Amino acid sequence: MTQASLRIGTRGSPLALAQAHETRDRLMAATGLPLEAFEIVVIRVTGDAVQDRPLSQIGGKGLFTKEIEEALLAGDVDIAVHSMKDMPVLQPEGLALDCFLPREDPRDAFVTLDEHAGLADLPEGATVGTSSLRRRAQLLARRPDLTVVEFRGNVQTRLSKLAQGVAQATFLAMAGMNRLGLTEVPARPIPPDAMLPAIAQGAIGVERRRDDGRVHEMLRLIHDRDTGLRLAAERAFLAGLDGSCQTPIAGLAEIEGDRLRMRGEILKPDGSRVLSDDTTGPLEEGAEIGGIMACQMRHEVGPNFFQV
């Protein structure tokens, strides 16, 4: 790899490109390399190509990562930038994921064109759009009277659907809106106490080839330790539950002094049952905390919990 060719693989959505640019800018600042040393390579992925079906019907979390990881393994790019909430818990042989940028706001946001309305203010039987099984289950657990419809597309597409009356409200991630500077979007952050976010929501991960020592040294310069500790707990929780896009799972790890607080939640897809836990332990034992929480939940709910 020459100084003028550090190739950054990414999806082509506005948010994915913003994340790739943030990664590039942090690497520039940390290494002193000029802009010309980096090339952003857009790779089309299945999750972006298929827009007419729910994600749960066309695969799991790999929908947004498979083609990028294939390009990384083939040597077509040198690093891959991912939204960590899209990442499977296991990496392909030969790849490593051990660099995380400082985490953005992990909360969900409630979005409606009625700027005075919150979730509790929606009329009985109102329609809410979301493509997330986790948000769908959480919504139905709190408001079983609501109708939930499939809602995919970028922020502008979703706002257009609201204006057309396809739904009266939807959800977005605060992190994405913050990174894109979308201050005009009529969104209200939802406290984690009211709706736990997706595992690793708001975090950016940078993947590399395991045997690429030079890239490893560069990425160490921009790795955020606190984000790494939080994700270790959350992703261990997800792994312990065999989590994918087809299972309603939520979780959030937060650092409180020298302790780590982990909150986790699993739901039946129709929202008819919710199991949650909240525990605190030593900061460095995040992975153990998340794994134990998952094990306890699996034992409590039994093997058929996620079947409607």
Q: What is the pLDDT of residue 226?
A: 97
Categorize the per-residue pLDDT at 23 as very low, low, confident or very high, splitting at 50, 70 and 90: very high
**Range 13-27 average pLDDT:** 96
**Which domains are delineated in the chain?**
1-102+203-223 (3.40.190.10), 108-189 (3.40.190.10), 224-300 (3.30.160.40)
Residue 129 in this model has a pLDDT that exceeds 80: yes
Q: What is the pLDDT of residue 242?
A: 78
Q: What is the pLDDT of residue 291?
A: 96
Q: What is the pLDDT of residue 61?
A: 55
Contact 250, 264 (CB under 8 A): yes
Amino acid present at 59: G
**Range 57-83 average pLDDT:** 84
Residue 290 in this model has a pLDDT that exceeds 90: yes
Q: Which helix (H) or strand (E) holds 215?
A: helix 213-220
Residue 54 in this model has a pLDDT that exceeds 90: no
140-190: pLDDT as tens digits: 999 999 999 998 777 888 888 999 999 999 999 999 999 999 988 889 999
Q: What is the pTM of this model?
A: 0.90
Considering only residues 47 and 42, tell me which one the structure prediction assigns the higher pLDDT: 42
Categorize the per-residue pLDDT at 287 as very low, low, confident or very high, splitting at 50, 70 and 90: very high
Categorize the per-residue pLDDT at 5 as very low, low, confident or very high, splitting at 50, 70 and 90: confident
Angle between helices 213-220 and 14-31 (to 10 degrees): 90
Distance separating alpha carbons of residues 130 and 152, to the nearest angstrom: 7
Q: What is the pLDDT of residue 116?
A: 63
- Report CA 296 to chain centroid distance, whole Å: 24
Residue 277, helix vs strand vs coil: strand
Q: What is the pLDDT of residue 306?
A: 65
Which residues carry out catalysis? 86
Q: What is the pLDDT of residue 118?
A: 83
Q: What is the pLDDT of residue 45?
A: 78
Residue 43 in this model has a pLDDT that exceeds 60: yes
Q: What contacts 1, CB < 8 A, 6 or more positions away?
A: 78, 212, 214, 215
Distance separating alpha carbons of residues 248 and 241, to the nearest angstrom: 10
Residue 243 in this model has a pLDDT that exceeds 70: no
Q: What is the pLDDT of residue 245?
A: 55
